[in-house]
Structure 1
Amino acid sequence: MIEVKNLSKKFKDVDAVKKVSFQVNKGTVFGLLGENGAGKTTTLRMLATMLKPTNGTAKLNGVDLVTDPEGVRGQIGILFGGETGLYDRLSARENIEYFGLLNGMDKRKIESRINTLSTMLDMDDYIDRRAGKFSKGMKQKVSIARSIVHDPNIMLFDEPTSGLDVTAVRLVHDFIRKIKDQGKTIIFSSHSMNEVEKLCDVVGIIHKGEIIEIATIEELKNKYENMALEDIFIRLVGGQNE
């Protein structure tokens, strides 16, 4: 479970995130939907302990990110879009193994997990090849395996399909569905209405650093006269732009 309470982040005179609060139950995909610059990434980076909140806090499986950031890191897996951050000179296996070691895993457990993940993600043909010449889709598969090698209970995804082709996007979507079925707690950040509608149980719409609506897709459509999610989004944020 994730409990976010008045989470805020200020950069000099800019309030990037303003008193954001929400809860995500176990086995739930929570979609953080917003325009570029709305505060999605800043929120995810605070939850990942990559940024320290200016005010507020959050508990991830009961661990407070302000008082025990190291404890939070052991609870989470992170998959961000854009650059995968793999070491080009290492093989896919070595990249995954390195992150397992960083998470304090035993080598035998890491080897077992890599074999399982390699089969699950269809990486057997290149698991021992260097990552530098991989396609973007292949790199994303390795990034996925790396993010869950320690079998975390909570996953944080910040636009993980950014820049991927259709096949790779489907892979990421299938992966999210699989780990949801395993009871993982997931926050999925996106500005794609289609992705959010396909994957998310609950949606939080963020605009200019503030959560302006939280509901299931069905609740949103009932509230807004069965409008499409895109139309609901435009109705909520379109008239609020500066």
Structure 2
Amino acid sequence: MELNGAAAIVSGGASGLGEATARELAAHGAKVVIADLNEERGKAIADEIGAVFVKCDVSDEEQVQAAVDTAASTGAPLRFVVNSAGIGWATRTVNRDGTPHDLASYRKVIDVNLIGTFNLMRIGAAAIGKTDPVNEDGARGVIINTASVAALEGQVGQVAYSASKGGIVGMTVPAARDLSVIGVRVNTICPGIIDTPIYGFAPNAEEFKAKLVAPVVFPKRMGRPAEFAHLVRMLIENDYINAEIIRLDGGIRFQPK
């Protein structure tokens, strides 16, 4: 599908993978709506790339509806939804001191990563479905969700995170089948180790990054947010890619820890 002249909503668009995606789509002519909780950063990016910022908690139905309504009222037809908002968490199912995993934190990760993704997907798809088809196939739009290789090879302490990302993987095919009736394709990207700001806060950040890169097959480095964003654009522009779960990981296979 053609990006130029269409609207796109990107959750988590104020940082990391979402920011790179917002920049990529805007650079190719899309009217981008950045949906994120970080108002200061989100507005700054929106101003820089000619986008619109909406403060949004993806797990909140009313806030997501408001963000989608904003995207649908930009003057360009809403055709693209990119779900890249999410949070990480690391706790063992039973900790070394014998205490069980905190249930509230598990629920929080599921609520943001999995339910938040479904929330924007369902509301965004309903809005896309109201637009006119763009071609003889009846295509109206594309939804791209972000999971993780942790959905497939979760490490020690990733039970909540892996469950949330595995849920995203699991709903890819049925969602694509559901939304085929309104001409919407659904694909999911499973990134590996991508060099986003989350890895740069620790005093020993470079040493930590080197350890993360060790199991990557080739190229022997962390992935770049721009490579994720490029894949998003490719999945939008190639009309025959649908219901796919695509690894973006340099061939990494996670060890237990």
Alignment TM-score, normalising by the size of structure 2? 0.34
Alignment TM-score, normalising by the size of structure 1? 0.35
Higher helix share: 2
Higher strand share: 1
